[in-house]
Amino acid sequence: MSNILANMTKFGVEKKPFDVLKELAEKHKLLRKQTGLSQSELAKRSGVSLGSIKRFELTGQISLESLLKSVQILNRIGDFELILNSDDNLKNIDKLFSDRTKI
């Protein structure tokens, strides 16, 4: 058991940026196929170059603007609304502690 914990600490439990990129690319490819669009059709409809679409689905590399344009066509742009939101719960907790210290 201690070896497992040591490996978790050594390699980290959180995903690395590369892992997230690859997962996004895989999900994008699956959504595109479920929508019935070829890479070429998605490129035309989104205004993103075919090369960018191919590279993204293969490597996970794409500009944020191109990603947003392509997911808009896939009707998933709303998925990005929660990214980088501040955590209001943490703000409320901070406020509780600051209010107690004033008393």
Q: Is the pTM of this model over 0.95?
A: no
For 79, other C-beta atoms within 10 Å of its C-beta total 12
CA pair distance 35, 75, nearest whole angstrom: 10
Question: Distances from the Cα of 16 to the Cαs of 11, 13, 43, in angstroms?
Answer: 10, 9, 28
Domain count, the chain: 1
For residue 13, the domain's CATH number is 1.10.260.40
**Helices 64-73 and 17-35 meet at what angle, rounded to 10?**
30
Domain containing residue 29: 2-102
Q: Mind listing the pLDDT tens digit of every residue in the chain (103 residues)? A: 445 544 444 556 788 999 999 999 999 999 999 999 999 999 999 999 999 999 999 999 999 999 999 999 999 999 998 888 877 666 666 666 665 555 5
